[in-house]
Structure 1
Amino acid sequence: MIRVDALYRYPVKGFTPERRAQLVIQDDGRVQGDRALVFRFADALEPEDATFPKSRGLALMTFPTLARVDLAYDDEARTLRLRVDDIDIEADLSESGRTRLADAVTAYLRTTSDAKLLDADGILPLGLLGDGRTARFQDRPRGYVSLHGTASVEALDATVPAPVDDRRFRSNIVVGGTAAWTELDWRGRVRIGEVEFEVQKPIERCAAITANPDTGVRDARLLRVLTTEFAQDEPTLGILLLPVAGGGMIREGDEVVVIA
């Protein structure tokens, strides 16, 4: 049986995931509370639509050392806690709280190998956008729910000396009970718990997956490995989904049914 092995959401775009026992899939195809906040660059305007390109704010693709920041978001209190090295800060989403959080992230990045990136025109001061509830800072205008198979990550891990686990790929849903790469061949519809999805397309990966989620160091040339060792035309792992007729709840352990 194919089942849900793990569920994740990402309260702050580009930062660490939160593992969840369940996720609410909204009618618009986004995960509730996912990418509801973003640290934007100084010259990045607040977007009018529900999308925010990685190039306009902090993202693992360009700032791999963000992976070391331990992040926790309290939905009820709407407070964000950031912990890394000597920095341990918790603040709300008031104007002063946002400033404190942005300053703390800047102070941390100044101590890392990514520090020089902060000196480019238009980067500082960072600002924290979002209400902490509305999923609106996805890379793609349509949003999507992302999924990959445990076996695909295990196959990739076996080809490189660096540790490779689910966290590198930042999916919302991780499924077990399939052979490696099987999910890339899914077509049509997939039912997960009480939600039926339509498979949209495979996920072409970026440099974010090369960053070790514990150390923040680029320690695995996974983009090249995917195209050479696995003969892919483009580095691909996982698929994008959209709900067919409204959202609902999905839970760890839910059965996954591929509908022919």
Structure 2
Amino acid sequence: MLRLSALYRYPLKSGKGEILQQAGLDKLGLEGDRRWMLVDEASGRFLSQRVVGQMSQLSALWNAQGGLTLGAPGRSPIDIALPGNDAELRGVTIFRDSLRVPDAGDEAGAWVSEFIGKPTRLVQIPLERARITQAGYGKDDDRVAFADGFPLLLIGQASLEDLSQKVGQELEMLRFRPNLVIEGTHAYAEDSWKRIRIGDVEFRVVKPCSRCILTTVDPQTGLRSDDREPLATLQKYRAQEEGAMFGQNLVNDGNGQLEVGMPVTILE
């Protein structure tokens, strides 16, 4: 039987992930997932582990009020409230998207600037300012917060085990930053799915996920592998025109609740 074996949330884009037992879904995927982001103060360009490796050690805990608690080794944590309606709007750029979103304020800005080592701001994205998902996939009203292109990422447990065997070491699932992990099927079965249901919620499988250099960063230490693994192995047998594919991007059709252990039904 297919079942949901793990749930992960990443409140801050490129920050540490939270391991969950249950989570709600809204229009932007898992509630609280990648609703916050760090940007360069001068340019508004988003920051990620791709260029700021120490972000892998930045913990971010989301609360039910939409706020955030940031922490890092050797630093006192800081609680950050959800910006109000009167919050300053800051122009930011994430990939090809430019938008204006609420800034979390000077205290948060000072904390993240000291951590990053240069002037940095923390911003948040409300539903009404969400981005459109990647063009050419999904529906016109599909929206995404600060995730790369789509609200959810799914990986089969068997796919990770197959990749680990090929690389010759046990790989952590968090290295690939999925939201949903499915077990009970063969490796890469998710490649052929078009629609699935978990609990009472249906999901569309819209696009394979092209992997980047982030997969070479150890989520525990933040160190990048010298041999470019597991990306190097993925490029040998999972390469397509857009890159090395691992995992599937999803869009949820409707809100609801997910809980680890729920059965998964393949609808199409």
TM-score normalised by the shorter chain: which range applies? 0.7 to 0.9
Instruction: Tell me if structure 1 keeps the 8 A contact 2:53–2:222.
Output: yes
Whole-Å separation in 1 of the counterparts to 2:40 and 2:169 = 31
Alignment match, 1:35: 34
Structure 1 runs not aligned, ≥5 long: 46-55, 111-123
Residue pair 1:91, 1:100 contacting (<8 A) in 2 also: no
Runs of at least 5 residues in structure 2 that lack an aligned partner in the other structure: 88-102, 131-143
Matched, 1:127 2:126: no
Give the letter aligned to residue 223 of structure 2: V
**1:42-66 Cα deviation digits (max 9, x unpaired):** 1345xxxxxxxxxx22212222321
| Paired residue secondary structure (2:187) | coil
Q: Say which of 91, 111, 123 aligns to 2:79.
A: 91
Give the counterpart letter for 1:125 in structure 2: P
Indicate the SS of the match to 1:6.
strand
- Find 2:199's aligned residue among 179, 182, 193: 193
**More strand per residue:** 2
**How many angstroms apart in 1 are the aligned matches of 2:213 and 2:66?**
34
For CA contacts below 8 A with separation 6 or more, give which structure has more relative contact order. Answer: 1
Please give the alpha-carbon distance, in whole angstroms, between the structure 2 residues aligned to 1:11 and 1:232.
Answer: 30
Residues 1:149 and 2:156 are matched in the alignment? yes
Take 2:17 and 2:173, find their aligned partners in 1: how far apart are those partners?
10
| Cα-Cα RMSD | 2.6
Identity, in percent, stands at 27
CA distance in 1, matches of 2:179, 2:238: 26
Alignment of 1:1-260 (within 5 A): 1-26=1-26, 28-45=27-44, 56-76=45-65, 78-84=67-73, 86-93=74-81, 98-110=105-117, 124-130=118-124, 136-140=145-149, 143-160=150-167, 163-186=170-193, 188-219=194-225, 220-228=228-236, 230-233=237-240, 234-244=243-253, 246-260=254-268
Cα distance in 1 between the residues matched to 2:171 and 2:7: 17
State the 1:162 CA deviation.
Answer: 5.6
**What is the TM-score with the length of structure 1 in the denominator?**
0.78
- Corresponding pairs, count: 230
Cα 1:76–1:231 shift into 2, 3 Å: closer
Check whether the contact 2:155–2:182 (CA below 8 A) recurs between aligned residues. yes
Structure 2 length-normalised TM? 0.76
Shift of 1:231: 4.6
